[in-house]
Chain A
Amino acid sequence: MLETLADDVKRSLRSWTDSLAGRERAVALRTLERPANEFGVDRFGFDADYLLAAAAPLIWLYKNYFRVETHGIEKVPEGRVLLVSNHGGQIPIDGAMVGVAMLLEANPPRAVRSMTEKWAATLPFISTIFARSGQIVGTPENCRRLLDEDEAVLVFPEGVRGISKLWPQRYQLQDFGLGFMRLALETNAPIVPVAVIGAEEQAPAVLNLKPLGKLIGFPALPLTLTPLPLPTKYRIYFGDALHFTGPADDEDVELDKKVRVVKSAIQALLQQGLEERKNVFW
């Protein structure tokens, strides 16, 4: 009974997606269907049909709540690519909005595979929704496998440091890990810098009760001033693809130089976006 209920919900969400996307895009989205086993999932547990159903409320938010404006999405090359973005806003709506942009605006549409926090795998429902919609625990092996399969992989090198930023640190990029650069070199994947504007103001936080968070198993516990994310206007900027060459097992100093190139590209896009906008909300 529960199963049929779930199937009904899925079906109606899926048709909501189609109607939000418009007829032409709905047809294009069907190209995302990929070889799955007899149980409808690929070996990672990803189900494109599930993704398109689960995306419906996010598409609604994309169009009506955050009114996302996307710039330069045509710069995302075909085949394997690492999308590297800033991160903020306490809940990872920025990741979802980049994902929706790639579904709605990219030609052809692509299913973005985000590298998620390990913590997500310990959460009921979230862990399952993530897995079925193609979001995968961010281990280097997982990332390497996806790039080898020519997927578009989204990473937030700021990680938890980024998403739990406090109000005064908005749009200041936190420390980047080096792992994504190693993987890009190893798999010969281009890097597209992405700047998301709006997310870092959606849920202003003034205090991070990290020790208390630790107690209840949360990686961070920022106290936000608003219970729900504010309807800030999102602007997503995709930069020119960057190609790096060199040994993947290079010293950290060398990798760090390359990482700084990516970081400053994102910072420049952020700067551009912040200057171009007149207001946080429209």
Chain B
Amino acid sequence: MSPEKHKDRPVVLVTGISGNLGRTLTKLLHRSERIVGIDRRPFIGAPKDVEVFQIDLRKKKAEDVFRRFSVKAVIHMGIMHDPRMSQEEHHAFNVVGTTRILDACARQGVKKVVVLSSANVYGPSPDNSNFLTEDAPLMAASRFSEVRDLIEVDMLAHGFFWRHPELETVILRPVHILGPTIKNAPSNYLRLRHPWMLAGFDPMVQLIHQEDAARAMVEALTPGLRGVYNVVGPGEVPLSSVFRELGRTPIPVPHVIARPLLSVLFRYRLAEFPPPELDHIQFLCNVDGSAWVRDVHWEPRFSMRETIHSVDPEAPLVRLPAAPA
């Protein structure tokens, strides 16, 4: 291929490429697609065929990237989740960044837009059905106001989906992503040496391996596919079984004292989890991923045990007791 031709080759633009999930996605995709990335953070050790622009999504320069290349698809995962970051900064980065990216896609006529949201937008609650479908209301902020920018991002993408029927917008809402390099709240929680559980609560949780989550984003590039999809991994598992699998003994903490206690620990930086996260280990927030299975013939590659162990490859593989006959 001549260098001139290579220059014209349409690209998949990935925002937030330097994060751990972005790197996983790059590894999966860069051999079949030409990738251009945007991130504030440097991508150290990026594959040679991947060009990364170290820019803030909110800056004008971000749109220049769209002009410079022929962008055939955007995967927008430049969404920040950091409970320690100020509310204002969080909100500005996620909401303004998403708005800018979506505007640029519309102006530059990008055919395919994939936005990585999360199944957490529904929010855990005692009122939840066991499996929430894509049309369930996004209630996460009603009990945890700090996540309202993540809901706003999802809704922005949703609005964009309806306003631009000529573009293929795909909004993915994967369940808790786990992986060896992932540092989100669920992975960090499962890595704790002395994790808490709320005494008497053992909700079913849904987990997905980082590579499966990245594969879902690749699947979303399938021509013709558009819509909002819950993405489920290898299924559901009781939280207690996850710890049993990892060989940890959680500390049962009564829920009435867990919240005030955690809020003190969080304030003094002795814990990394804001208290409303406790809802995730008390109530259900599981989704129905059947639409995604139907439309892309989705099958996760990682089993539940492999997914669980991915957060801590060092954990001794505990044999499950055989089911009684």
Chain A interfacial residues counted at CB < 8 A: 33
Q: Which residues on the A side are within 8 Å of B199 (C-beta)?
A: 124-125
What's the least CB distance linking B188 to chain A, in Å? 22
Does any Cβ of A come within 8 Å of B44's Cβ? no
**Residues of A with C-beta under 8 A to B200:** 123-128
Q: How long is the Cα–Cα vector from A43 to B283 in the complex, in angstroms?
A: 15
The answer, among A39, A122, A123, A136, for a CB contact under 8 Å with B241, is: A39
Chain A residues in 8 Å Cβ range of B272: none
Rounded to whole angstroms, the CA-CA distance of A36 and B204 in the bound complex is 14
Query: Chain B residues near A38 (CB, 8 Å)?
Result: 304-305, 320
**Hey, which chain A residues are within 8 Å of B305, CB to CB?**
38
Which residues 250-273 of B have a CB within 8 angstroms of A? 254-255
**What is the distance, in angstroms, from A43's C-beta to the closest C-beta of chain B?**
5
A203 to chain B, nearest CB (A): 24
Which residues of the other chain, B, contact A67 by a CB distance below 8 angstroms? none
Main DSSP-derived SS at the B contact region: loop
Give the complex CA separation of A21 and B320 in angstroms. 29
Q: Which of A100-108, A137-145, A184-192 contacts B (4 or more CB under 8 A)?
A: A137-145
A49 interfacial by beta-carbon distance below 8 Å? yes
Which chain A residues (115-161) contact chain B, with CB distance < 8 Å?
118-119, 121-128, 131, 136-137, 139-142, 145
> Which residues of chain A have C-beta atoms less than 8 A from B126's C-beta?
118-119, 121-122, 127, 137
**Which of the residues A2, A122, A128, A136 comes within 8 Å of B130, measured between beta carbons?**
A136
Residue of B133, B198, B238 near A45 (CB, 8 A) is B238
Q: Binary interface profile of B, 287-325, with partner A (CB < 8 Å = 1, else 0)?
A: 000000000000000001100000000000000110110
Name the distance in Å between B135's Cβ and chain A's nearest Cβ. Answer: 10
Q: Are B204 and A45 in contact (CB under 8 A)?
A: yes
Rounded to whole angstroms, the CA-CA distance of A49 and B325 in the bound complex is: 10
Closest 3 pairs (CB-CB, A-B): A124-B200, A121-B126, A125-B200
Contacts of A126 in B (CB 8 A): 200
User: What residues of B have a CB within 8 angstroms of the CB of A139 in the complex?
Assistant: 127-129
Query: A39 to B254, Cβ gap below 8 A?
Result: no
| Interface flag for B201 (CB, 8 Å) | yes
Contacts of B238 in A (CB 8 A): 39, 41, 45
